[in-house]
Amino acid sequence: MNKNEIPAGMREVKVRSTLPIYLMGAAWLLYALVFPLYRVWDYLLAAGVGCAAYFIARAAAGERTVLEPVPETDTGSSAANEILRAGRAELIAIGTAKAEIESAAVREKVTRLQQTGGRIMEHLEKNPGCAPSLRRFADYYLPTLKKLVAAYENMEEQGVDGENLSDSMRRIEGILDTMNGAFDRQLDALFADQALDISTDITVMEGMLAQHGLSGGNEFKRQEE
């Protein structure tokens, strides 16, 4: 699965089939029914047959990829932990409602919102200090988005081409575009402090290079001479 297709709040994990274990037990039982188990080497041979069945079945079954909720992370901030828990739960619920929507265009809009929301949660996990600025995002915008997506899915399911339904669905489609812009701006705002720190570091570095005569193209060469 493409990383961009993984629903926000979920992650991919590799799991192996339990079938090889059952086949190993079945091979052992079948051997015991056909051949006597009187001596030690009889048991060793039966064990060998069972192990061979296990490894052959394991190689044939391989691994499969499943999705599971992202485990809760302790950021060291109770406020950040609370927002992460609530935000990721809302994103999963939004994805569940989106899956029932028939309109590909609307699903694409919601998917983009999910992805941006997921990146916002990832930023919060790494920078718990920004929790206060995300309280409204988690308490209002995500729950409202979930409500709108569920409402659209319900209206679409009615299969009625009525004026009220059509108008409501068009308004939801429009607000999804507006929310996508708002989510992008929210994510960009989270990087404002980081951008300021980088700008300060660059300014200091430029000053030091100039102070030591290293900001031009030939200073390194003159120092070597």
User: pLDDT, tens digit, for every residue of 80-90?
Assistant: 999 999 999 99
pLDDT at residue 205, rounded to an integer: 82
The whole-chain average pLDDT of the chain stands at 81
Q: Where is pLDDT greater, at 179 or 76? A: 179
Q: Taking 90 as the threshold, does the pLDDT of residue 220 lie above it?
A: no
* Cβ 126 vs Cβ 109: under 8 Å: no
Burial group, residue 184, by CB count within 10 angstroms (0-12, 13-18, 19+): middle
Q: Taking 70 as the threshold, does the pLDDT of residue 71 lie above it?
A: no
pLDDT at residue 66, rounded to an integer: 57
Q: Where is pLDDT greater, at 17 or 66? A: 17
Q: Taking 90 as the threshold, does the pLDDT of residue 145 lie above it?
A: yes
Can you tell me which residue has the tokens 């709108």?
A: 148
205/202 Cα distance (integer angstroms): 5
Neighbouring-strand partners of residue 65: 14
Q: Where is pLDDT greater, at 141 or 200? A: 141
pLDDT at residue 2, rounded to an integer: 47
pLDDT 10s digits, 4-25: 555 555 555 666 777 778 778 8
CA dihedral (123, 125, 131, 136) positive or negative: positive
What values do phi and psi take at 14, rounded to 5? -95, 130
pTM for the full model?
A: 0.62
Confidence tier at 137 by pLDDT (50, 70, 90):
very high
pLDDT 10s digits, 178-213: 999 999 999 998 887 676 667 777 877 877 877 777
* Cβ 110 vs Cβ 176: under 8 Å: yes
Q: Taking 60 as the threshold, does the pLDDT of residue 72 lie above it?
A: yes
pLDDT at residue 221, rounded to an integer: 47
